[in-house]
């Protein structure tokens, strides 16, 4: 057993060891205790102002002194802004140049007009402007009724930030460095953090607080935890929260522990069949996080409950960019509450309880067999899962049809005898929605599987292994046997090629195309995307063009990816002329629909050597018959239309079906509404 003398010197030994190892432990730095309206220096030139929350509703602020100016963290309410200016003038004669709004809430941004009147520019993440425009005008009006400092400004709306940034903005004058960061949705969609890496200080806004101050109405608690985990990766000793006293980095773990405990207790309640109302009365949090459970707890329980059972827009769908369509909703003329929804397809039956939870008062049925399906559809307001001529004919009361697939060409048709679609659906007022964007992540993953199969010669390596040690191509092009490793003549350039710096052209910049572009950017590819409707280039796209400019851009592409919907205008549009315009040695990939591409022209381009390779997850017809000439092409990969199959896809399309059912029952605009005239 260690001696008492050893215990006496243990703290000193631990401290010395931590310093020697370069470990910046929070307990090695004493964090000042703070009280409301108190200003303390936490590091040279960095100050924390403890806001008077109970008395004036003020948030905490930070003052960061640069060589020639001052940056303030958080705009506060107008009276808080005035108090900050008075305190700064006691500390320095340097002018204040910028105020950083950590998010859009009034206690962190309504003081912007005061700062602007003093020549100080508000800065924030770009989502702060969006959320301020979406949520704050009405809240500003309400605040003006109760707060004199807001009312006396004489404004109808809050003042948005002037300078915005997407992910990171650095202000560094050589003496001081501040990194303004964003890690995604937490307390709000626009949460920003001011990180000072040299002093290991972090200003968090309300994404991290010190006490029971977590308002969750504008954020997402699941992703909030991920944001805190990202903050934990920063080298931080002092944490300046949005509310409550100054703290050390343990505030990060305490904040996360509160959310994890809240999630765990709500999940237990849901599993036990408890309602949100019952949980609000019964739920108890562990003692370790009780200091974070205050007046907001009942609302926090409701929020987490709603997130977990789908009573609000799932964050995963929001991240995919799904938007509501312009549809009749509650309050519109002629709108009535739905009474019955039919779920067609065995996969939906596994989600029966989830679907019923989000549409109380609506009869949700899961008929077995076509006869029972048509019988139930006769009195139904909607069908989820699939549709057919018979279903549309039987559903005299149908207002909405949801297809879990992304392609809707079987419903809309291509204007040909082989593909007439369902005219009674197209020409009706029935709303059609689909599963687009649910498949993008997985299909785009497979796109890069195809690309790597050719660029890294993985296809040849796999085939060589299957041949048990050969055949192999040597440098002179002759087949060699007897060894897995390919002999390369000295000085010969390898057939593998690097993706970095190569050019990709994506036809269709929607759900699949945009996900391909994200991954392409990570590989260092220069991406051009052709799309008739997309207004702004998605992340990863360097150049956005219209389909009319496609031909002239094909010659520069090393990889061409077809990711557009099959419509009357795209039916067999990519043919001989397009393959002729492509660069010799390029790779061609189709993950959209087979009939978009002229099969004969593709085969000719592969046989002639114009294309180095091609990959098809879709064909015409489908499945491709035995004996089809495409099977014999050695530089062609064919997969059985499985790029959009995974556990993630199944979860997303069912989550979308549930969310649209919730919206339909509540009278809210549906997601992924199909323009039946355009066909997508």
| SS3 track for 344-363 | CCHHHHCCHHHHHHHCCCCE
What does the pLDDT read at residue 25? 41
What 3-state class would DSSP assign to 580? helix
What does the pLDDT read at residue 467? 64
Distance CA 529, CA 506 (A): 5
Question: Alpha helix locations (H) across 456-598?
Answer: 458-466, 511-523, 550-554, 576-581
Is residue 243 within 8 Å of 36, Cβ to Cβ?
no
Query: Cα separations (Å) of 45 from 14, 63, 174, 201, 523?
Result: 30, 8, 13, 12, 41
What does the pLDDT read at residue 331? 81
How do 382-385 and 340-343 pair as beta strands?
Answer: parallel
What does the pLDDT read at residue 472? 44
Q: Which of 238, 167, 169, 160 is nearest to 204 (CA)?
A: 238
Based on its alpha-carbon atoms, the radius of gyration of the chain, rounded to whole angstroms, reads 30
Taken in order of first residue, the domains within the chain and their CATH numbers are 21-244 (3.60.15.10), 340-438+649-666 (3.40.50.720), 440-456+496-638 (3.40.50.720)
223 is catalytic: no
Q: Which of 593, 597, 331, 301 is nearest to 443 (CA)?
A: 593
Question: Alpha helix locations (H) across 505-614?
Answer: 511-523, 550-554, 576-581, 599-607
Q: Mean pLDDT over residues 44-73, rounded? A: 97
Q: How big is the chain, counted in residues?
A: 680
pLDDT band, very low/low/confident/very high, at 15 (cuts 50, 70, 90): very low
What's the pLDDT tens digit per position in 160-188?
999 999 999 999 999 999 999 999 999 99
Burial annotation 132-171 (CB, 10 A radius, 16+ → b, else e): beebbeebbeebbeebebbeebeeeebbbbeebbeeebeb
Residues with Cβ within 8 Å of residue 299, at least 6 apart in sequence = 215, 216, 217
Which residue among the candidates 50, 105, 519, 593 is catalytic per the annotation?
A: 593
Is residue 57 within 8 Å of 83, Cβ to Cβ?
no
Distance CA 546, CA 355 (A): 40
Distance CA 640, CA 149 (A): 65
CA angle 457-463-467, nearest 5°? 140
pLDDT band, very low/low/confident/very high, at 3 (cuts 50, 70, 90): very low
Q: Which of 507, 519, 656 is nearest to 575 (CA)?
A: 507
What does the pLDDT read at residue 327? 74
Distance CA 277, CA 670 (A): 27
Q: Mean pLDDT over residues 25-38, rounded? A: 76
Kindly report the pTM of this predicted structure.
0.85
Tokens encoding 288: 């370790």
Distance CA 175, CA 66 (A): 7
Which has more confidence, 375 or 18? 375
What's the pLDDT tens digit per position in 454-481?
999 888 878 766 665 544 443 344 444 4
Distance CA 593, CA 591 (A): 6
620 is catalytic: no
Is residue 281 within 8 Å of 301, Cβ to Cβ?
no
What's the pLDDT tens digit per position in 353-399?
999 999 999 999 999 999 999 999 999 999 999 899 999 999 999 99
What does the pLDDT read at residue 651? 95
Report the percent of the chain where pLDDT is more than 90: 85
Tell me whether residue 653 is exposed, middle or buried, using C-beta atoms within 10 angstroms of its C-beta: 0 to 12, 13 to 18, 19 or more. Answer: buried
Q: Mean pLDDT over residues 253-275, rounded? A: 96
What does the pLDDT read at residue 465? 65
Q: Looking at the predicted structure, is the pLDDT value of residue 20 above 90?
A: no
Question: H or E segment at 422?
Answer: none
What does the pLDDT read at residue 195? 98
What's the pLDDT tens digit per position in 587-597?
999 999 999 99
232 is catalytic: no
What does the pLDDT read at residue 9? 39
Mean pLDDT for the chain overall: 91
Distance CA 122, CA 101 (A): 7
What does the pLDDT read at residue 526? 98
Q: Looking at the predicted structure, is the pLDDT value of residue 12 above 70?
A: no
| Beta carbons within 10 angstroms of residue 475's beta carbon | 15
Distance CA 455, CA 496 (A): 5
Chain position carrying tokens 């739905």: 338
Query: Cα separations (Å) of 536 from 166, 392, 510, 529?
Result: 15, 37, 11, 11
Q: Looking at the predicted structure, is the pLDDT value of residue 10 above 70?
A: no
What's the pLDDT tens digit per position in 637-650?
999 999 999 999 99
Q: Which of 507, 443, 386 is nearest to 641 (CA)?
A: 443
């Amino acid at each position: 057993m260690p001696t008492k003398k050893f215990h006496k010197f243990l703290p000193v030994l631990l401290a010395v060891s931590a310093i020697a190892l370069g470990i910046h432990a929070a307990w090695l730095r004493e964090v000042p205790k703070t009280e409301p309206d108190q200003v303390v220096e936490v590091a040279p030139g960095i100050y924390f102002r403890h806001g008077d929350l109970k008395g004036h509703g003020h948030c905490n602020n930070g003052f960061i002194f640069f060589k020639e100016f001052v940056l303030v963290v958080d705009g506060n309410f107008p009276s808080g802004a005035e108090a900050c200016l008075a305190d700064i003038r006691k500390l320095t004669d340097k002018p204040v140049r910028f105020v950083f709004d950590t998010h859009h809430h009034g206690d962190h941004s309504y003081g912007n007009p005061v700062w602007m009147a003093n020549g100080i520019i508000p800065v924030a993440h770009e989502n702060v402007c969006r959320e301020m425009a979406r949520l704050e005008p009405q809240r500003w009006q309400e605040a003006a009724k109760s707060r004199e400092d807001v009312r006396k400004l004489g404004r109808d709306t809050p003042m948005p930030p002037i300078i915005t940034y997407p992910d990171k903005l650095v202000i560094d004058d050589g003496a001081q460095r501040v990194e303004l960061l964003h890690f995604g949705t937490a307390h709000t969609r626009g949460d920003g953090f001011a990180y000072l890496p040299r002093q290991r200080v972090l200003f968090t806004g309300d994404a991290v607080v010190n006490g029971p101050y977590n308002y969750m109405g504008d954020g997402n608690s699941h992703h909030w935890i991920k944001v805190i985990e990202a903050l934990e990766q920063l080298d931080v000793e002092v944490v300046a929260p949005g509310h409550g006293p100054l703290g050390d980095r343990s505030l990060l773990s305490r904040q996360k522990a509160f959310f994890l405990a809240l999630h765990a207790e709500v999940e237990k309640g849901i599993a036990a069949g408890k309602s949100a109302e019952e949980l609000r009365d019964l739920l108890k949090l562990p003692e370790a996080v009780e200091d974070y459970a205050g007046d907001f707890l009942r609302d926090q329980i409701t929020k987490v409950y709603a997130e977990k059972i789908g009573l609000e827009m799932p964050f995963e769908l929001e991240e995919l960019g799904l938007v509501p369509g312009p549809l009749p909703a509650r309050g519109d003329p002629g709108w009535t509450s739905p009474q019955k929804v039919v779920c067609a397809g065995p996969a939906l039956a596994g989600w029966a309880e989830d679907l019923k939870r989000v549409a109380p008062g609506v009869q949700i049925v899961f008929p077995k067999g076509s006869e029972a399906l048509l019988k139930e559809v006769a009195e139904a307001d909607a069908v989820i899962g699939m549709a057919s001529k018979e279903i549309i004919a039987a559903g005299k009361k149908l207002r909405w049809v949801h297809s879990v697939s992304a392609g809707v060409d079987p419903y809309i048709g291509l204007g040909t005898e082989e593909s007439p679609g369902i005219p009674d659906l197209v020409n009706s007022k029935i709303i059609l929605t689909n599963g687009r964007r649910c498949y993008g992540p997985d299909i785009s993953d497979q796109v890069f599987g195809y690309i790597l199969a050719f660029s890294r010669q993985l296809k040849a390596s796999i085939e060589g292994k299957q041949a048990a040690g050969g055949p192999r191509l040597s440098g002179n092009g002759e087949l060699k046997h007897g060894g897995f490793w390919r002999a390369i003549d000295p000085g010969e350039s390898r057939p593998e090629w690097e993706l970095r710096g190569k050019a990709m052209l994506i036809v269709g910049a929607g759900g699949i195309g945009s996900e391909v572009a994200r991954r392409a950017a990570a590989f260092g590819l220069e991406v051009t995307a052709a799309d008739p409707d997309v207004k702004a280039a998605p992340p990863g796209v360097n150049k956005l063009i219209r389909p009319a400019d496609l031909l002239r851009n094909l010659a520069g592409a090393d990889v061409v990816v077809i990711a557009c919907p099959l419509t009357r205008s795209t039916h067999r549009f990519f043919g001989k002329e397009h393959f002729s315009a492509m660069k010799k040695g390029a790779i061609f990939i189709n993950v959209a629909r087979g009939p978009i591409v002229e099969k004969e022209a593709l085969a000719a381009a592969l046989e002639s050597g114009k294309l180095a390779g091609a990959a098809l997850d879709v064909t015409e017809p489908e499945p491709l018959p035995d004996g089809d000439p495409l099977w014999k092409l050695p530089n062609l990969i064919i997969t059985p239309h499985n790029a959009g199959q995974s556990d993630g896809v199944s979860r997303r399309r069912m989550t979308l079906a549930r969310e649209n059912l919730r919206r339909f029952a509540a009278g809210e605009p549906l997601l992924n509404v199909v323009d039946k005239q355009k066909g997508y």
